[in-house]
Amino acid sequence: MRKLLGFLHEIGTIMYVGGILSHIVIGALFAHSDPETTITVYIYKLQSAYILILPGLGVKIVTDLVLWFGYGERAWWMRIKLACTAFLTVNAFVFLVPMMPELLALAEASVPEGHLSDAFLALEGREQLVGMSNVIPLVTEMIMGAFRPKISAAERA
């Protein structure tokens, strides 16, 4: 059963990280585009968040909670991993995903002007900052899960 949990966790990680990386790539490719192209970019970002990022994060959370409650995994690597996952979850559900429809609406409202509005650019800048704040917790969470380091003296003994 533990191997199945590990496999499911890896699938969730691939979905989650793959979705995030695709957001970064499409954003870099079409940065400062015309409003019509930006609309397509944000439709893609919104749908990939619903199809890859949120379900992948959900799978990771469920498998971690099964390890915590079902298997009593209380090592420090797991505690750090759960703290990082909590941070990533709040960022995703409270900040990033709710920004996507707003950014899409602002891009659509910019079409008549022919260029992206200042409101869009400001919100996009905030989205990028929140997204960048995920880097350290995401890398830390992945390292803890992959290597399961023995952090405390009791774990090393």
Report the C-alpha gap between 74 and 115 in whole angstroms: 52
- What stretches in the chain show pLDDT beneath 50? none
Q: Which residues contact 97 (CB under 8 A, 6 or more apart)?
A: 49, 53, 54
Residue 122 lies in a domain: yes
Q: Give how many domains the chain has, as a whole number.
A: 1
Residue 146 lies in a domain: yes
| Token output for 44 | 């893609």
Residue 156 lies in a domain: no
- Which structural domain range is residue 122 located in? 2-151
| pTM for this entry | 0.93
Residue 94 lies in a domain: yes
Mapped onto helix, strand or coil, the DSSP state of residue 31 is coil
pLDDT tens-digit map of 26-65: 999 999 899 999 999 999 999 999 999 999 999 999 999 9
Residue 157 lies in a domain: no
Residue 68 lies in a domain: yes
Residue 145 lies in a domain: yes
CB 44 within 8 A of CB 26: yes
